[in-house]
Structure 1
Amino acid sequence: MDRIPSPPSEFEVFLEALHGVPPRGLTACDGWTAHEVVAHLASGADLLAEQARAHLDGTPAPVVDDWAVRDLPYQAMDDRLLRRRLETGEREMTELLAHFAAADPAAVIPGLGWGMPVGEIVLHMRQEFAVHRWDLTGDDARADEVLARPELLGHSVRMLQDSLLAKDGDDFSARIRSPRQPDLLVEMRDGKGHLALVDPDDSPALEADPAARLLLLWGRRPSDPRRVRSDLSPAELQRLQHLLRGF
């Protein structure tokens, strides 16, 4: 029997899109051209690889206090060299993370990543390439397929949980709904935020296709506004958009 080919990875899809994007092309990231997006991703891939090697070698792992500073040498690179640097850095990072994940994806490796289990770090980089791919090109069928992968939504909900904790304001609750999937619940209670995937109900909600919903969670909006519809009141919609804008 012929084997069904595996779907392309988020990094492969990112590279596919990047080939048609000029270095100075504007992106959905404020203040960043495509060159700055690639610089940030290359910087992050190299950092994780460096941290993983340091753990294996028993040496101190590098840390980042300011990503804007860390990214500067990458931004100064020739764009062709930078794109090759991203490819080699991603390959090394992926191999090293796979080494740790094979032993125990739930393990937290000292000095690696952001205190997340190694399996979550792998998902985080997949999510980074998926979302930043959309930043380069906007809506298309390939972006829809990648952004709709449920494991990326699950990771994003877990990762962004703490980001809502600093939000002020009155108690609030709203749902973002996608067909045939759990609802995404966004809540503020007693000054603390909460994100969760919950069983759907019939309450008013913001409705979006799965790819658009992941974009909304990361403070973005799909290029086609018809992909998102609201049954919320204007005040509820504004509050929900405000909560998610910071991501």
Structure 2
Amino acid sequence: MDESTKRELVFLVADKGMEAMIGAFLGRLDFPRRLGCAPFDFNPKTDIVRAGGHDPGLVKREAGKILNLRRREYRRAIVVVDHAYDNAPDPETIHRLISAQLDGVWDCFDVIVIDPELENWFWIDYPDLLKRVLLWTPKGGDRTPRQVLEEAGLWEPGAAKPGDPKRAVEYLYEEGYTGDQNNGIFKRLARDLPSVRRCTDPSFQRLMARLAEWFPAPEAGTYTTDPIDDEQTEYTQ
């Protein structure tokens, strides 16, 4: 395929939650303004490849096999994978093992290892947004998800996120505080997130920085990352 006809970026993700969250965020019309990067052509339906099966280690073992055949179609590739699965090596080792499969084939690629798992991207300091995303039920009353989880011993006071981010989502669902536990929560969060400034997870920050590096804003000062940071903004559901 001629270089001029290649698409800009392909993602390889481990599961439907990652597919939903990345697809919803990059599918937003305003995502370049939020990141301070240039717009680029991205189609969530075609530019995200989800690894098949239910083996969480599949991406680690076969990222090259899955992605390298697409080098003729795309200029860049990003792999996103969880760290939390049985007998998983440390995040640095996962990064190295996947990178070795892509190195020499892709000129531009990155590997994003979420430690421990995707739910770590979910827990951000937007109480009202989290309630909307979780479909908060009357059982929670005026309490925030954080307050409920602190009372349950699942979120340490003063900590930025719950100690076990996936268990925190499960607990709220099991106890009837939320109307959803499926991948819809990731899609709604990515779609309605007013700012990436409060997303403190290092892997998320790495992903945002990589996109800003690969697709720099056309003119310095045209816009800055997250010019609007207002959690009171109303969003249609």
TM-score (norm 1): 0.30
